[in-house]
């Protein structure tokens, strides 16, 4: 089994607490079934998600997300083999309303289109460090 990592962004459609709760519930259930772990950074104007697991399962999840009408403008930023899981303890770690990713003005100025794989990866490395600090307290 090849471990595979993907990071995508999308624009939420119909974002509210109920929609987000539904996405998180579905992601956690299906990811656990498929051996996928990851993290979701979200606001009402962006979803940024890290998925890791068996390549066929991660790609099938990306296909499902691309067909999901709760996601608009799905953009794949990273798709590559991985040596280790970064979020092995989380079927889907959720970080709501993150203020240290792109600002609303950055997004309006198409920051997503200019984003490098290293930039989006760095957001998740910071999230992982924050989550680990919270669980070790």
Q: For position 66, what pLDDT does the model report?
A: 92
Confidence check: pLDDT of 136 > 60: no
Instruction: List the domain boundaries for the chain.
Output: 3-136
Confidence check: pLDDT of 74 > 80: yes
Q: For position 52, what pLDDT does the model report?
A: 96
Q: For position 102, what pLDDT does the model report?
A: 85
CATH 3.30.70.100 is the classification of domain 3-136:
yes
The model carries a pTM of 0.84
Q: What percent of the chain has pLDDT over 90?
A: 36
Could you read off the pLDDT of 97-128 as tens digits, one per residue?
566 688 888 988 989 889 999 999 988 888 88
Q: For position 25, what pLDDT does the model report?
A: 84
Structure tokens at 133: 């600090």
């Amino acid at each position: 089994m090849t471990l595979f990592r993907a990071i995508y962004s999308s624009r939420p459609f119909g974002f509210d607490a109920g929609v987000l709760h539904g996405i998180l519930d579905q992601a956690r259930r299906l990811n656990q079934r498929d051996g996928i772990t990851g993290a979701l950074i979200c606001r009402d104007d962006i979803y940024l998600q890290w998925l890791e697991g068996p390549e066929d399962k991660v790609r099938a999840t990306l296909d499902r997300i691309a067909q999901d009408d709760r996601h608009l403008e799905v953009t794949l930023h990273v798709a590559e083999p991985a040596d280790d899981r970064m979020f092995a303890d989380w079927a889907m770690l959720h970080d709501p309303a993150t203020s240290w990713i792109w600002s609303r003005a950055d997004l309006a100025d198409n920051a997503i289109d200019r984003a490098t794989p290293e930039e989006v990866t760095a957001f998740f490395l910071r999230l992982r460090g924050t989550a680990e600090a919270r669980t070790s307290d």
